[in-house]
Amino acid sequence: MVNKAIFKTYLGKLLAGTDTKNHEAAPAYRLTPREALAQYAVTGTFNGTFYADGAEQLEAVKALALEVEPEFLAKVAIHAAGKGHMKDMPVTLLAMLSSLESDAFARAFPRVVKSGKMLRGFVQVMRSGATGRKSLGTRPKKAVQAWLERASTEQILRAMVGNDPSLADVIRMVHPKPVSEERRALYAWAIGKPHDVAALPDLVKALEAFRRDQTRSVPDVPFQMLTSLPLTREHWVEIARKGGWQMVRQNLNTFARNGVFEVEGFAEALAARLADPDEVRKARVFPYQLMMAWKMVDGQVPDVVRDALQDAMDIAIANVPSFGGNVVLCPDVSGSMASPVTGYRKGATSAVRCIDVAGLMTAAFLQRNPKARVLPFETGVVSVALNRRDSVMTNAGKLAAIGGGGTNCSAPLRKLADEKARVDLVVFISDNESWVDARKAGQPTGVMTEWARIKRVNPAAKLVCLDLQPHATTQAPTRNDVLNIGGFSDAVYGVITAFAADSKGADGWVRAIEAIEL
């Protein structure tokens, strides 16, 4: 008889041995170059994380970019911008793509760079030399010129908010060729050159008129272009009324300090807008951004506005899937999850931690799957009492308040295996850096060993490993019953839904990117 200690089988298959190490130097499985690049693209912000700094992330992405075809690189950039709602990573991928012999750059550029902020970000990356050159070059220059030619006056004005580089810097660099006298005057005005005032767009004329005389109507321009003026409460009411949904969400405390909620009926009107389903969806807001806005509003903001943020949360998580069967949610509450989800950056570190996002996603899944079982883990499984009737905000807060301990991703699986529990779907929300359960190099991870035990009782069960940080390793290799996915936008829910419904959907995340048409 063969030695079962050596020839461990699982339903007729050998368990795969580990082939690399994670950042904790614990054995792990290497993601394929496509999986790893996609993981970095939807979680990497080039800020320092608990395990790696921004420079290490950049070097990893540059290496991975050389291992895939230019067309796939372009599709990842489009996915990261459109579905992942990322900013820095997509334009960095574009910058890398611009130096390759492929027309994929020209096809991807307009689908990635859809705002002035993204345009300035792309130029900044190109000028930094981080991707190999310090000048724009012919193709990038033409792409930037084309963006300026397509942009509306409103887009040009929004692009003027921000520096390093400023839009004026960009215009001076690429020398766009104006197609009309109005656009010629607009470019000259934007860079402070002499211009034909009569030819300026009406919106710019209105801005200049308001700068001279604040008794005029407030122009519909970015409010940052007005804050140096002596604005009254009535002015701020107009700014709030005309501002975009995201701007309103981000500036509730500013509006409160300037008295807008003292105007009768305005708090209710603003709340109705914040909770408007169409506006919430159009804004492409991260659910965690709503959670933090709700936490950060001060006492001067009326309750009706705070409640509207919770209503907006319900809308933002509306596409969280509802699954049949036995669902288990495993949020990582270990010490490393206390790091900012978008990394450390001097002067601009997010207050949102990985554990906040894990708690929020778990609470959202729980709301849509009220019979789901929640097994938070660190060194071991942590007991926490969640009321399924509580709001997402409340349950997310309870989970985020745990924190601490080492990372042991196999702990909740071991508990389920020991119980011989009935399981259909297990969802991990983690930074995936398990080390407490580390085994010898080349052996299966603790996660795979315990998952094999679960599969003996539940042969149709599926495992989702949702990673919130930019890593290139996993504790469970992708296969028909294991999905590795990254990110913290609502795009992950669709991929998980497809995986749960499709017996061969484990590579659905990469396939969805590959299916993008250039």
In a domain, 348, yes or no: yes
CB 331 within 8 A of CB 361: yes
The string of pLDDT tens digits covering residues 214-256 is 999 999 999 999 999 999 999 999 999 999 999 999 999 999 9
141: its two tokens: 């220059």
Do 329 and 311 share a structural domain? Answer: no
- Model confidence at 11, pLDDT cuts 50, 70, 90, reads very low
Do 74 and 13 share a structural domain? Answer: no
In a domain, 53, yes or no: no
Predicted confidence at residue 10, as pLDDT, reads 44
Q: Which amino acid belongs to residue 512?
A: A
In a domain, 270, yes or no: yes
Residue 49 has pLDDT above 70, yes or no: no
Alpha helices in 322-471 (DSSP H): 354-368, 392-400, 411-419, 446-457
Do 492 and 369 share a structural domain? Answer: yes
CB 81 within 8 A of CB 518: no
The string of pLDDT tens digits covering residues 56-78 is 888 889 999 999 999 999 999 99
Distance from C-alpha of 493 to C-alpha of 496, rounded to nearest angstrom: 5
Do 475 and 393 share a structural domain? Answer: yes
Count the neighbouring beta carbons within 10 Å of the beta carbon of residue 280: 22
**Number of domain units in the chain:** 3
CB 344 within 8 A of CB 47: yes
In a domain, 160, yes or no: yes
- Model confidence at 348, pLDDT cuts 50, 70, 90, reads low
β-sheet bridge partners, residue 9: 14
The string of pLDDT tens digits covering residues 280-326 is 988 878 787 888 888 888 889 999 999 999 899 888 887 788 888 99
CB 294 within 8 A of CB 314: no
Domain that holds residue 290: 228-316
Do 143 and 81 share a structural domain? Answer: yes
CA quadruple 376, 381, 384, 388: dihedral, nearest 10: 50
Q: Which sign does the torsion angle of CA 273, 356, 409, 48 carry?
A: positive
Do 364 and 233 share a structural domain? Answer: no
In a domain, 263, yes or no: yes
Distance from C-alpha of 57 to C-alpha of 516, rounded to nearest angstrom: 25
In a domain, 126, yes or no: yes
Do 286 and 417 share a structural domain? Answer: no
414: its two tokens: 């071991």
Do 279 and 366 share a structural domain? Answer: no
Distance from C-alpha of 199 to C-alpha of 177, rounded to nearest angstrom: 16
Do 158 and 97 share a structural domain? Answer: yes
Do 397 and 296 share a structural domain? Answer: no
Q: What is the mean pLDDT of residues 177-185?
A: 96
- DSSP SS3 for 330: strand
Whether the bond into 165 is cis, omega within 30 of 0: yes
- Residues with Cβ < 8 Å from 302, sequence gap 6 or more? 261, 267, 271
Q: Is 498 exposed, middle or buried (0-12, 13-18, 19+ CB in 10 A)?
A: middle
**Of 47, 9, 105, the residue nearest 341 (C-alpha):** 47
- Model confidence at 9, pLDDT cuts 50, 70, 90, reads very low
